Amino acid sequence: MIRNKRKLEEFYRNLNAEENLSYKKAMKIYDALHKEALALGAISHENIWDGFEVDLRIAKAINGLRCDRKANKKSGSKIRRR
């Protein structure tokens, strides 16, 4: 649970300032992590898409809610509950 939003925002600002990665370096890190995950058996080619459809539906629902709230805030109307 986040207790101090200002400290968290400050942490992310500092993190962004310190971690200025190039695309090439970021891809090298990603490739190394991917190879390690494969070697450890954490992921495999068979299970890489397991649960993806559920995650996609959740993401669409969350993004839909965010859009509705933004639109309702601009128009001043209340959020309708179904």
41 and 25 share one domain: yes
Same domain, 38 and 1: yes
Count of beta carbons in the 10 Å neighbourhood of residue 72? 13
Cα(31)–Cα(28) distance, integer angstroms: 5
Tell whether 44 and 59 lie within a shared domain.
Answer: no
Q: How many CB atoms lie within 10 A of CB 38?
A: 13
Instruction: For residue 60, give the 3-state DSSP assignment.
Output: helix
pLDDT grade, residue 36 (50/70/90)? very high
- Do 29 and 56 belong together in one domain? no
Tell me the pLDDT tens digit for each residue of 65-81: 765 555 555 555 555 54
- Is the whole model's pTM more than 0.75, yes or no? no
Number of structural domains found in the chain = 2
DSSP, collapsed to helix, strand or coil, labels residue 46 as: coil
**Residue 79 DSSP symbol:** P
Are residue 59 and residue 76 in the same domain, yes or no?
Answer: yes
Q: Within this chain, do residues 4 and 20 fall inside the same structural domain, yes or no?
A: yes
pLDDT tens for 9-30 read 999 888 888 888 888 988 999 9
11 and 33 co-located in one domain = yes
Give the pLDDT confidence score for residue 67 in this predicted structure: 57
**Structural domain of 70:** 51-82
